[in-house]
Chains A and B, each alone.
Chain A
Amino acid sequence: MSGDYNPAPEGNPSVLTRRNRFQTALVKFIGERTPKCRQVVRILSQSMDSKLSLTVRIKLRLHYLICAWYQRYEKQLHELRKFASSVPDHLNDFSADTLSPTAKKRMREALRKDRRE
């Protein structure tokens, strides 16, 4: 089923949605020469941690033109980062764990002992 493209979903953010024959040919041309989505999601993850080479960035840019999902996935990686970095500000919602009274007692004793020494 080489070259078979699934129909674009509604709200497809790709620039080349609802394409004519010429555009479809262009999409195939680009699709065959740029990293596939499976690799693209790997590269997008890497782009969160380091600067990509110019060649890779150009290839991603081309892939972006033909891919319905690229933009959304990339945005969600940034949102994930935002969630993770906001956890300390929402610590009480994130966890309601408390130290047991015995643990606190142990700590007070350890501190008292430490002071005496």
Chain B
Amino acid sequence: MQSPKIEGATPVVTATIDPERWVEEHSDCLYRCALLRVRRPEIAEDLVQETFLAAVRTSGSFRGKSSERTWLCGILKNKICDHFRKIGRETSFTDLEFLNDELSHKFVPQGFWNHEHGPLEWKPEAEVVMHRAEFWETLRNCLSKLPERVADVFMLREMEEMETEQICRDLNISPSNLWVMLHRARMALRECLEMNWFKDPRQEGG
């Protein structure tokens, strides 16, 4: 996984190591970052601590070219990858069975969309929506409704932009199961955002 590139981040001039200050300045940010990926608070907390400990040991590699936070985020990302590899052993029945009817009620028996239930136009535009703080809360709620593994693969693919081959390897998932999980995750999230954010204008009218 690539470490994030943050343009214009202030370089730290003096690369003195003060780990206890890191806890004050960066731990919440790292924690959110970890929580977003692993979702369990206790695991996220462990990962942040491991990140600090690893940072102390490798502080020689920190040249102050990037900001301290970017450097720490990079270490955290590696820790998160290790974590996924470690737990990447089994995909549960719940994950594979999630949305297994693939919203069949939205289609007529011949397989075409039922026009009553076709996807609505999303308004306002994505660009506009992303400036609304509440939107991100809605997205978070929708993500939390996905089974754990399904959310993992979706986020690895769409947020981390990881190649599907690598996801299959790291999480020990067959390609066909990955396609299915990604498709259902997208379908479910699309639906959830539509219901909870892009409100149905037909219902407002009625």
When each residue 58-85 of chain A gets 1 if its CB lies under 8 Å from chain B and 0 otherwise, what string results?
0000000001110011001101111111
The yes or no answer to A46 lying at the interface (CB within 8 A) is yes
Which among B35, B112, B133, B183 is the interface contact of A93 at CB below 8 angstroms?
B133
- Which range contains the number of B residues in contact with the other chain? 35 or more
B49 x A76 contact (CB < 8 A) = no
Main secondary structure of the interface of B (DSSP, over half): helix
When each residue 80-117 of chain A gets 1 if its CB lies under 8 Å from chain B and 0 otherwise, what string results?
11111111101111110111000110111011101100
Return chain A residues, CB-CB under 8 Å to B136: 87, 90, 93-94
In the assembly, what is the distance between CA of A77 and CA of B107, in Å? 18
B28 x A85 contact (CB < 8 A) = no
> Are A107 and B52 also in contact (CB < 8 A) when A37-B111, A85-B158, A98-B28 are?
yes
Return chain A residues, CB-CB under 8 Å to B133: 90, 93
Query: Which residues in B have some Cβ–Cβ distance to A below 8 Å?
Result: 4, 19-20, 23-24, 27-29, 31-33, 35-36, 41, 45, 48-49, 52-53, 56, 102, 104, 107-116, 118-119, 121-122, 126, 130, 133-137, 139-140, 154-155, 157-159, 161, 164, 179, 182-183, 186-187, 189-190, 193
Query: Which residues in A have some Cβ–Cβ distance to B below 8 Å?
Result: 1-2, 5-9, 11, 31, 36-39, 41-42, 45-46, 48-50, 67-69, 72-73, 76-77, 79-88, 90-95, 97-99, 103-104, 106-108, 110-112, 114-115
